[in-house]
A = this chain, B = another copy of it.
Amino acid sequence: MASLGDIGLAAAINLLSAFTFLIAFAILRIQPINDRVYFPKWYLKGLRTSPLHTGAFVSKFVNLDFKSYIRFLNWMPAALQMPEPELIDHAGLDSAVYLRIYLLGLKIFVPIALLAFSVMVPVNWTNDTLKRSNLVYSSIDKLSISNIPLGSNRFWTHLVMAYAFTFWTCYILKREYQIIATMRLHFLASERRRPDQFTVLVRNVPPDPDESVSELVEHFFLVNHPDHYLTHQVIYNAKKLSGLVAKKKKKQNWLDYYQLKYSRNQSQRPTKKTGFLGLCGNKVDAIDFYTEEIDKLSKEIELEREKVIKNPKSIMPAAFVSFRTRWGAAVCAQTQQSRNPTTWLTEWAPEPRDVYWNNMAIPYVSLTIRRLIVAVAFFFLTFFFMIPIAFVQSLANIEGIEKVAPFLKAFIEIPFIKSFIQGFLPGIALKIFLIFLPTILMIMSKFEGFISTSALERRSATRYYIFQFINVFLGSIITGTAFQQLDKFIHLSANEIPKTIGVSIPMKATFFITYIMVDGWAGCAGEILRLKPLIFYHLKNFLLVKTEKDREEAMDPGTIGFNTGEPQIQLYFLLGLVYAVVTPFLLPYIIIFFAFAYVVYRHQIINVYNQEYESAAAFWPDVHGRIIFALVISQLLLMGLLSTKEASNSTPLLITLPVLTIWFHRFCKGRYEPAFIRHPLQEAMMKDTLERAREPNFNLKEFLQSAYIHPVFKGGDEDSESEAMSEVGEQEPVLVQTKRQSRRNTPAPSKQSSSFSSPPHESADKHSRP
């Protein structure tokens, strides 16, 4: 086991590497050439244009203002200064609430750590159980529960602390749920008119031999919602069309690349081979080839588009139905329409940019079967994923490679390369799997049939959390693959399971401390450096970019990535709650993680990430539920641990804790969850009345006419998606233009931004002034 000194060394190394990342970031971000990598959000908002057009030639690429290097940590206070309402305006409620998860971590763990260090550490420290035993122990263990003798009365301290921590966590959770529910309702209420407020998605329209889907929908809603129905929009099956458009875009990219190549070196027209991956086949003139291909595709797209619109078979049995009032939409979304509960299914339409178009037409029976298949598949993925990896690992050894590719033998036999392969290859198979895991989970969710990106991400996040809980948390404690654990647990009795896990927990504290430093601290610092987008941006910039628009596309702002980010945070909540009573020494590491990650992600959300959709914090019930889950797990494990310490007379008191926690969860669910899934009629009526009074002659039908058109029908070209986005952007309230107009850290202010920046706006100015 590691001593305090070892931990200190590890901490120093990790701090150093995190610090290196930060310095690299601080230098790279103030280079004008990287401006689009580190501030893409502002470009997308149109508040900043490329700095390449102004100033001297060198200063277009390298920052020569040396003063700015001194203030290289300025981004931290700057990131913290933007007030929350402005942040919501700037990056959406989802992002603002996402940041609150980190704050929630601080709110929960700072007081818990203070209490633990002032009460529990002295209680643990002033024993000599470990000293008298023959066990090898470290200084950390002296601070932990392991140092208390069996059956000691001091365990009452831990019991009381467990109660205190539970009540504190629940109190903070309840408060936070309330605040976020209010924020959500306020956000929804203060929004301007948006198409999804008036629109309901209808699925599983039953087939009718006499009427088309469009007629059927119109008649049904005219009959059943006569005073409220306004218009509707059928949904086309444009899967093939989107495929063609995507293909055309790819070819266009190649064309751009070859044209740029030709323009730089006019002496020789670029050529390419037509065969597999451009490695074999006839040599042709690349520009002509791609121009021709694109022409062909354009015609195909045109044909397909007409076919889709004209052919009644390509209309899916689903539609977006819009109502005259928000009240009408709220009523339709919350009620059952027809006698058969599997037809005419209604739900609130997601935002236009949030719609996942491919899953619109899945019938009810198919949906339930898909759910079963995915559940079984996920079970096998979680518990048996080691089997294929072990298989790959067994293949990917020296002998395996030599067998498959004998010509590589001479190369492989070089000692350095041999040891590299032997050392890294098995790990790489696992690492590749783990990198692709979120994608696999996302594919599962897509197969399951959710109809909005936000729902897809939420479900993937749940699965990712379960995977991490079983394979990272339990896997590290029990050591063994998930399947071995499962086998073990099946053969253990219900009261043995918490004991088995609980007893190993104190011993794993140092491992998890290291894990937090590597995965949490260094991971965060790596996130802010954005190495991958940086490299890709410069590659694209060099190879493809011709116009300003191309450059815009070359930016890869990325998103928050709820489906991977949130489960990671939740793992820290779990660790913190489990170790709070057992080894409080772990808490400061978690607090540092939460604080550091908060600053980093606040910066990223303000400057980098692009908002893909706005679900108005619909994910909060999941976040709340998982923290409750972690709390219950921590209570059960403590119970197991204490029962091995001959303190089993505390069991009845410990059993009431999870009962109370679960009851608390149910209470919160009833009290706050409806705010995230239902739509109060009172609110809808209020907004309707207000709006009618304010704009009595507004033409709502026109406003809603083209809101829910599949992106491929909108622009007709490859930019349709970004257009859809910008269209939504236009409907948002005009932003105060002065945000981030101060550019002392990143000189050469863009024309547009600077022209807008006078007169400076006080409140918006605060956050970026050093």
Please list the residues of chain A having a beta carbon within 8 angstroms of any beta carbon in chain B: 185, 220, 223-225, 227, 330-331, 334-339, 341-342, 344, 364-365, 368, 371-372, 376, 489-496, 659, 663, 666-667, 670-675, 678-683, 685
Contacts and interface: CB of A to CB of B under 8 A. Distances in A.
5 contacts: A331-B335, A335-B679, A337-B682, A371-B666, A489-B494
A407 B681 CA distance: 73
Nearest to A668: B368
A331 B335 CA distance: 7
A670 B376 contact: no
Nearest to A673: B341
B671 A337 contact: no
A98 B682 CA distance: 41
A368 B663 contact: yes
Given A337-B680, A339-B675, A339-B682, 10 more contacts: A331-B331, A335-B681, A336-B681, A338-B680, A339-B683, A341-B672, A341-B673, A365-B667, A368-B670, A491-B496
8 A-B pairs closest in CB distance: A341-B674, A336-B678, A334-B335, A338-B682, A372-B663, A493-B493, A490-B495, A368-B667
Contacts of A667: 365, 368
A572 to B, nearest CB: 30
Nearest to A659: B376
Contacts of A337: 680-682
A335 B330 contact: yes
B490 A682 contact: no
Contacts of A220: 682
Nearest to A491: B493
Contact of A368 (B492, B666, B685): B666
Contacts of A365: 667
Contacts of A224: 681-682, 685
Contacts of A364: 670-671
A651 to B, nearest CB: 11
A493 B494 CA distance: 6
Identical copies of this chain, number = 2
A680 B681 CA distance: 18
B336 A674 contact: yes
A414 to B, nearest CB: 47
A331 to B, nearest CB: 5
Contacts of A493: 490-494, 496
A342 B678 CA distance: 13
A680 B334 CA distance: 11
B335 A335 contact: yes
Contacts of A492: 493-494
A116 to B, nearest CB: 29
Contact of A679 (B336, B489, B672, B675): B336
A376 B655 CA distance: 12
A678 B671 CA distance: 22
A337 B686 CA distance: 12
A170 to B, nearest CB: 14
Contacts of A680: 336-339, 341
A680 to B, nearest CB: 5
Contacts of A342: 670-671
A413 B239 CA distance: 93
A674 to B, nearest CB: 4
Contacts of A494: 489-494
Contacts of A496: 491, 493
Contacts of A334: 334-336
B227 A341 contact: no
Contact of A670 (B331, B341, B495): B341
A298 to B, nearest CB: 44
Nearest to A671: B342
A167 to B, nearest CB: 16
Contacts of A681: 224-225, 335-337
B185 A339 contact: yes
Contacts of A371: 666
Interface centre among A185, A344, A682, by most chain B C-beta atoms within 10 angstroms, is A682
Nearest to A334: B335
A659 to B, nearest CB: 7
A492 B494 CA distance: 7
Given A368-B670, A490-B493, A663-B368, A675 B335 contact: no
Contacts of A344: 682
A342 B674 CA distance: 9
A302 to B, nearest CB: 41
Nearest to A667: B368
Contacts of A490: 493-495
Interface centre among A335, A368, A679, by most chain B C-beta atoms within 10 angstroms, is A335
A342 B181 CA distance: 13
A127 B150 CA distance: 57
A570 to B, nearest CB: 25
Contacts of A495: 490-491
Nearest to A689: B223
A341 B337 CA distance: 23
A330 B337 CA distance: 10
Contact of A678 (B227, B341, B372, B685): B341
A179 to B, nearest CB: 14
Nearest to A656: B376
A181 to B, nearest CB: 9
A659 B371 CA distance: 12
A492 B337 CA distance: 49
A490 to B, nearest CB: 5
Nearest to A330: B335
A561 B425 CA distance: 70
A200 to B, nearest CB: 12
Contacts of A675: 339, 341
Contacts of A685: 223-224
A660 to B, nearest CB: 8
Contacts of A489: 494
A227 B331 CA distance: 14
A663 to B, nearest CB: 5
